């Protein structure tokens, strides 16, 4: 059973995957393998003549496995705009998602699909992968789906991520509004601070916030999402949180500013 897909850093816990295909024999093995991995998925069976589009997009979908060939009056054909219509109906507008073209001749037509998508009002995938069905077909005509998911997972792990962290001092914990007010040291060298509010529930898996507590805040950015971690900081960082005068301004002779009555 494939595990590499679960290890891909760009996928969140509780990933939802859509499968778009007109052939149950091709889609069902993928469904079953995703179920073994406890990955939520939904199979959309395509009927060109009577398309039963979903009543609403699939909430929180992060990945779409897309077949490109659908049965028509003229046999099995590639229609990029039929594909884009399904994507438009399944993926919520503005949703960040990965598109895996899982089809015959996927490498040949993926760019044509993306070009068609660019001509209409549709959310483009932030990452696209192409996988030919023939590469994963076994001698008995079944599919090696674990190998497919491993290959997709390995490809996704190549997507670069970035992270940065900074210190913070908790100023206030508001139980009524469920917020935490933190004085954040955004740039230690330049002594730049920024007071920010965070939802209290974000701390649930990390620590219990208390006023005057020093913490380290880690932000991890990756295509499609950002995560935030709150880490306990045992060292006394009081000296770091002393706001100093801007360099070169402490010796200036500031003019007195008064109102019309001569009051400072």
The CATH number of the domain where 34 resides is what?
Answer: 3.40.50.2300
Torsion of CA 205, 210, 214, 219, to 10 degrees: 30
Residue 35 lies in a domain: yes
For position 95, what pLDDT does the model report? Answer: 86
Count the neighbouring beta carbons within 10 Å of the beta carbon of residue 158. 9
Give per-residue pLDDT as tens, 194-218: 899 999 999 998 899 999 999 999 8
Whole-model pTM above 0.85?
no
- pLDDT score at 149: 94
Q: Which residues contact residue 13 at a Cβ distance below 8 angstroms, ignoring those fewer than 6 apart? A: none
For a pLDDT cut of 90, what percent of the chain falls above it? Answer: 44
Is 70 exceeded by the pLDDT of residue 254? no
> Residue 251: inside a domain, yes or no?
no
Residue where one domain finishes, among candidates 136, 156, 176: 156
pLDDT for the residue 250: 43
Q: What is the CATH number of the domain that holds 224?
A: 2.40.50.320
With respect to residue 8, please indicate whether it lies within any of the assigned structural domains.
yes
**Whether residue 96 is found in the same domain as residue 227:** no
pLDDT, mean of residues 130-155:
93
Task: Report pLDDT for 175.
Answer: 94
Residue 110 lies in a domain: yes
In a domain, 247, yes or no: no
- pLDDT, tens digit, 9 for 90 and up, residues 42-83: 999 988 778 788 999 998 899 999 998 755 544 456 788 888
Q: Is 8 helix (H, G, I), strand (E, B) or coil?
A: coil
In a domain, 261, yes or no: no
Report strand pairing: 16-21 vs 61-66: parallel
Average of per-residue pLDDT across 117-123: 90
Q: 52 with 174, same domain?
A: no
CB count within 10 Å of CB 106 equals 22
For the cut 80, the answer to whether the pLDDT of residue 253 exceeds it is no
Closest CA relative to residue 104, chosen from 81, 71, 126: 71
Residue 93 is part of which domain span? 4-156
CB count, 10 Å around CB of 233?
A: 16
Q: What is the mean pLDDT of the chain?
A: 83
Q: For 183-212, b where at least 16 C-beta lie within 10 A, e where not — what string?
A: bbbeeeeebeeeeeebeeeebeeeeebeee
pLDDT higher than 90, residue 17: yes
Mean pLDDT of 149-156: 91
Is residue 87 in a domain? yes
Q: Count of domains in the chain?
A: 2
- Give, in order, the Cα–Cα distances in Å from 235 to each of 5, 110, 159, 169, 222: 38, 53, 35, 12, 30
């Amino acid at each position: 059973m494939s595990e590499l897909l679960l290890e891909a850093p760009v996928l969140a816990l509780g990933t939802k995957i859509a499968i778009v295909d007109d052939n149950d024999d091709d889609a069902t093995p993928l469904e079953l393998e995703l179920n073994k991995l406890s990955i939520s998925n939904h199979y959309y069976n395509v009927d060109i003549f009577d398309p039963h589009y979903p009543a609403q997009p699939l909430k929180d979908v992060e990945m779409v496995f897309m077949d490109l060939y659908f049965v028509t009056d003229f046999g099995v054909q590639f229609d990029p705009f039929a594909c884009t219509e399904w994507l438009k109906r399944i993926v919520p507008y503005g949703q960040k998602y990965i598109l895996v073209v899982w089809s015959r001749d996927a490498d040949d037509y993926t760019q044509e699909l993306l070009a068609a998508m660019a001509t209409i009002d549709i959310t483009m995938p932030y990452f696209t992968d192409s996988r030919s069905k023939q590469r994963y077909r076994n001698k008995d005509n079944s599919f090696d789906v674990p190998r497919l998911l491993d290959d997709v997972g390995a490809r996704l792990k190549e997507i670069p991520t970035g992270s940065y962290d900074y210190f913070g001092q908790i100023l206030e914990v508001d139980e009524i509004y469920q917020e935490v007010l933190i004085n954040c040291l955004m740039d230690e060298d330049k002594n730049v601070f920024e007071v920010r509010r965070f939802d209290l529930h974000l701390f649930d898996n990390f620590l219990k916030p208390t006023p005057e507590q020093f913490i380290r805040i880690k932000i991890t950015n990756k295509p499609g999402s950002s995560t935030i971690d709150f880490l306990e900081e045992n060292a006394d960082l009081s000296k770091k949180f002393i706001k100093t005068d801007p360099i070169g301004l402490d010796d200036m002779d500031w003019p007195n500013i008064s109102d019309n009555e001569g009051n400072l």
